[in-house]
A and B are shown apart, each in its own frame.
Chain A
Amino acid sequence: MSSPVVGIVANPISARDIRRVISYAGGLQITDRANMVLRILAGMAATGIKKTVIMPENAGLRGHLMRALTRSKNAGDGHFPEIRTLDMPVTGDATDTARAARIMREMEVAAIVVLGGDGTHRVVVANCGDIPIAGVSSGTNNAFPESREPTVTGLGVGLAVTGQVPPGIAFTANKRLDVMVNGSLEIALIDVAFVRERFVGSRAIWKTECFHELFVTFGSPGGIGMSSIAGLVAPVSRSDRFGRRIVFESPETASFAVRASIAPGLIAPVGIADVQTLQFDQPITPETRAGSIAFDGEREVTFGKADEVLVTLRDGAFRTIDIEACMAHAADKGCLVEQAEHQTKLKQVKGG
């Protein structure tokens, strides 16, 4: 069994924006995040992972981790794999996430485990190339990462990257939205929203009167964030071979409006003017002529009439680890069963 290196991205800046004030969004404490990383590490160690790398930060995560690792080492319990901090400067914002993901891609880690919400996942995917990722939901808006106990995510990732689960089962290809602004590429994993506000400001979008247009890769009725609007109007799954485009107008004048969970704690009526299906690889020029573009719920780019903006849905754009499938495979094949005799018993039980 090989001992691949797994990367961990946990940026303390995630889940810290204005949504905590406007709508009671969660803000996982640093100690909680450190404990989540430790549980991921424990899961991975149990599958034979020996080496991990983590992005550096300066908000106290590292201190908690190092104390726990030192205690474990002193106790000799072998609870955690080796953890190395990447050698890179820390700026204290999302660029740390991007830089860490790039370095992990260059060093060809076997997978990247991402702690965060949609915003952090988006930054990792934009920079990690073909490296598969596994998300641990801990951000503000968590439409993309699934809610799962991090220990199990650690186990699933370990099973996948050590080859105990075949790649065909372990890895899933995902859709993505590409947005070209004057030839410069930005991406979104779930949704691209065009809003009239022409400044990035505190990034979050919640002023529905400024909503103009939305593109989604998937949108589930039970989802959260902008994509939930599509979910309520015309649902699309992660595996569907198309996406959606929705054009908004004021709820007063629109032919109909939906009350959607546009952000955690924020349910607002949104007027729907038009709904279209998006096909792969067909660039579309948005109707919005000036404003800002929010990727996965956060304003990132402002643009005006002279700027050329194109939105394209892409297929098979990046890989994720399907934890549920990995665990199912492990159960089926007895990957986590310790001795051969028990393997036999397990077969009997299953058969019984």
Chain B
Amino acid sequence: MSATATAVSAQGSDSPFPLEKDDLLSAYRTMKTIREFEDRLHVDFARGDIPGFVHLYAGEEAAATGIMMHLTDEDRIASTHRGHGHCIAKGVSVHEMMGEIYGKVSGACRGKGGSMHIADLSKGMMGANGILGAGAPLACGAALAAKKLGHKGVGISFVGDGASNQGMFLESLNLAGVWELPVIFVVENNGYAESTSVDWAVASDSYVDRANGFGLPGVTVDGTDFFAVHEAAGEMIRRARDGGGPSLLECKMIRFHGHFEGDAQTYRAEGEVEDIRNNRDCIKMFADRVSEAGVISRVETDAVDAEVATLIDSAVEQAKAAPLPDTADLLTDVYVKY
């Protein structure tokens, strides 16, 4: 809840938020870029422009952005099948992402990975993952490497409410506790494992309980509230960097689209999606809050909107124009040397 609009100076440390104006604008830009990217895919996929299938992150932008703002390229994240938002927030080029999704050589993985396997290790993005829960051990590995190599990096493992039932994930909670790894497990709970409701599929669906069961502290936040995610993630990441060990963050969030594109979402309640789009849009809530506080004006967010639309336009144009992989590419890059 916020009181009515007021004019507050946004200069320097007068920002009433935990971030200065530039960072707030950057957070807005990241969230908006994810939304625009996904909305464009939604349209272009329906038109038949995109091969395969895509899982969209729209509606969940505050979580990826609130977490990733604390990270550097040295920090590693292991993402999920719904990974576009994580990629963008971690700094992967949207041009390379779009190229990948179109299966072009300009793609982040030269067209060999596709939507579910976008990776850019130079940005600390260890890959979206088509296998649910498989990223958790990998993030533990990244954290182990940081610990053994003596740098302050952390590993972040993203799983959904569905994949949190995977043995790989639960084993990882234990391993992280045993090895005291600087890793944070983020459960993005959007209420649906594909089409199966979390109420049905998780016997005791308090993820904090699960973390506690392995001796890790767990926290639940409203994943649609950028500031809630940002603050909680910041504490957990700082703790991990300082040798405080692993923890779990449950973000309760909302999926605008279906499990994958083409999903008619008949399992959702009538009016559910409209209601959340109108009333629980994390980007709109963020924009309202910063503008009511007088830190960022509507003119400024409008300018970012226009800039982002242009960016995505150019990403789509470039992806469409880029060449397809060569026949020879079929056989390359299986091994470093064979």
Contacts and interface: CB of A to CB of B under 8 A. Distances in A.
Direct contact of A and B (CB under 8 A): yes
Interface in A275-319: 290-291, 300-307
Contact of B8 (A182, A201, A305): A305
A60 B205 contact: yes
B245 to A, nearest CB: 10
B206 interface: yes
B232 A21 contact: yes
B15 to A, nearest CB: 8
Given A199-B227, A202-B231, A304-B7, A30 B204 contact: yes
Interface in B212-232: 212-213, 217-222, 225, 227-228, 230-232
B332 interface: no
B202 interface: yes
Interface in B1-56: 1-8, 16-18
Contacts of B70: none
B154 interface: no
Give the 7 A-B residue pairs with the shortest CB-CB distance, closest first. Answer: A198-B16, A304-B6, A16-B220, A201-B231, A60-B204, A201-B227, A303-B3
Given A30-B209, A59-B205, A18 B231 contact: yes
Contacts of A16: 206, 208, 218-220, 250
Interface string A20-44: 1110100101110000000000000
Contacts of A13: 220
A290 B8 contact: yes
Contacts of A12: 206
A169 B59 CA distance: 52
Nearest to A199: B227
B143 interface: no
Given A31-B204, A60-B203, A302-B16, 16 more contacts: A20-B217, A21-B219, A22-B235, A24-B217, A27-B209, A29-B209, A59-B206, A63-B203, A181-B3, A182-B3, A199-B16, A201-B18, A202-B231, A203-B228, A302-B1, A302-B289
Interface of B: 1-8, 16-18, 198-199, 202-206, 208-209, 212-213, 217-222, 225, 227-228, 230-232, 235-236, 239, 247, 250, 252, 289, 293-294
Contact of A17 (B221, B227, B289): B221
A108 interface: no
Most chain A C-beta atoms within 10 Å of own C-beta, residue among B204, B206, B289: B206
A58 B198 contact: yes
A336 interface: no
A17 B221 CA distance: 7
A17 B220 contact: yes
A304 B222 CA distance: 24
11 contacts: A27-B208, A27-B217, A27-B218, A30-B209, A198-B16, A200-B225, A202-B219, A202-B232, A291-B16, A304-B8, A304-B16
A199 B18 contact: yes
Nearest to A64: B204
A33 to B, nearest CB: 9
A196 B203 contact: no
A151 B235 CA distance: 37
Contacts of A18: 219, 221, 231-232, 235
Contacts of A21: 217, 219, 232, 235-236, 239, 247
Interface in A297-346: 300-307
A241 B234 CA distance: 42
B93 to A, nearest CB: 30
A82 interface: no
B65 to A, nearest CB: 14
Contacts of B1: 200, 300-302
B204 A200 contact: no
Contacts of B252: 92-93
Contact of B17 (A59, A60, A198): A198
Contacts of B250: 16
Contact of B293 (A92, A203, A302): A302
Contacts of A201: 18, 225, 227-228, 230-232
A306 B239 CA distance: 37
Contact of A27 (B198, B212, B293): B212
Contact of B205 (A58, A199, A305): A58
A197 B18 CA distance: 7
Nearest to B66: A201
B3 to A, nearest CB: 4
Contacts of B236: 21
Contacts of A200: 1, 225, 227-228
